[in-house]
Amino acid sequence: NAGVTQTPKFRVLKTGQSMTLLCAQDMNHEYMYWYRQDPGMGLRLIHYSVGEGTTAKGEVPDGYNVSRLKKQNFLLGLESAAPSQTSVYFCASSYASGIAYGYTFGSGTRLTVV
Amino acid sequence: GQQLNQSPQSMFIQEGEDVSMNCTSSSIFNTWLWYKQEPGEGPVLLIALYKAGELTSNGRLTAQFGITRKDSFLNISASIPSDVGIYFCAGQLPTNAGKSTFGDGTTLTVKP
């Protein structure tokens, strides 16, 4: 089925470890986003990309890096994980258009940093 | 930056009741979107609104784009147990790289 696929679905990291979250979409969407979701705080934008080879900072970018080497993939990296990065991470994608069509979200990556 | 206030934060209702929730903003948006998130999944788009005053339905769901462009409402009629989830509003501007500003969500619990 077409959509947004996130891997892995679950991960436990020790403080200081690094990891990369992968997001892949097969809808030929231009825009891609990484959000984190914490209880009572809704969805907060970490980084986003408006096209292959481009990235930009969102609302809460500190401690994260991203890359968009291919249009269909958007990678989120944690170089040195901290307990404050325990969260559920969602990737989303959308068309580039003057009229918003909304996002297609992945099913999330549940990350625990101990 | 732009902020959305979504209310209520949570709702506990009986099956068959109607539900209303709303979102207000300090800024004007050109598009309002409503999403539903079920446990363990990502949000799914329910309704998109593109014009001030617009009223759009999707089955038992009805959403409205406020006249001031600073608010939106979502109503669910005759709720059923599968309506359980978190409902998010989101506002969007056309020149903002597609970025949406999300509300904090309304958690809906439906008792059979």
Give Cβ neighbours of residue B82 (< 8 Å, ≥ 6 apart): none
Q: Which residues of B touch A104 (CB under 8 A)?
A: 45
Q: How far apart are CA B85 and CA B83, in angstroms?
A: 6
What pLDDT, on a 0 to 100 scale, did the predictor assign at position A42?
86
**Looking at the predicted structure, is the pLDDT value of residue B110 above 70?**
yes
pLDDT band at B6 (very low <50, low <70, confident <90, very high): very high
Interface test with B, best of A103, A104, A105, A109 (most B CBs within 10 A): A103
Q: Establish if B54 touches chain A: CB-CB under 8 angstroms.
A: no
What pLDDT, on a 0 to 100 scale, did the predictor assign at position A99?
67
Q: Establish if A64 touches chain B: CB-CB under 8 angstroms.
A: no
**Looking at the predicted structure, is the pLDDT value of residue A1 above 70?**
no
Q: Which pLDDT tens digit goes with each residue over A2-18?
A: 799 999 999 999 999 99
Q: Establish if A101 touches chain B: CB-CB under 8 angstroms.
A: yes
Strand partners, B10: B107
**Across A99-106, average pLDDT:** 85
Q: Where are the alpha helices (DSSP H) in B15-74?
A: none
pLDDT band at A101 (very low <50, low <70, confident <90, very high): confident
Q: Which pLDDT tens digit goes with each residue over A28-86?
A: 999 999 999 998 778 999 999 999 999 999 999 999 999 999 999 999 999 999 999 99
Q: Which pLDDT tens digit goes with each residue over B66-106?
A: 999 999 999 999 999 999 999 999 998 877 777 889 999 99
Q: How far apart are CA A58 and CA A46, in angstroms?
A: 5
CB contact under 8 A, B42 and A106: yes
The alpha-carbon gap from A4 to the nearest alpha carbon of chain B, in Å, equals 10
Q: Which residues of A touch B1 (CB under 8 A)?
A: 59
Q: Establish if A12 touches chain B: CB-CB under 8 angstroms.
A: no
3-state class of B75 per DSSP? strand
Interface test with B, best of A43, A55, A99 (most B CBs within 10 A): A43
**A contact residues 15-34, partner B, Cβ 8 Å cutoff:** 31, 33
Q: Which pLDDT tens digit goes with each residue over B11-59?
A: 999 999 999 999 999 989 999 999 999 999 999 999 999 999 999 999 9
**Across A95-103, average pLDDT:** 77
What pLDDT, on a 0 to 100 scale, did the predictor assign at position A98?
61
What pLDDT, on a 0 to 100 scale, did the predictor assign at position A56?
95
The alpha-carbon gap from A45 to the nearest alpha carbon of chain B, in Å, equals 9
What pLDDT, on a 0 to 100 scale, did the predictor assign at position B3?
78
What pLDDT, on a 0 to 100 scale, did the predictor assign at position B1?
53
- Calculate the CA B31 to chain-centre distance: 12
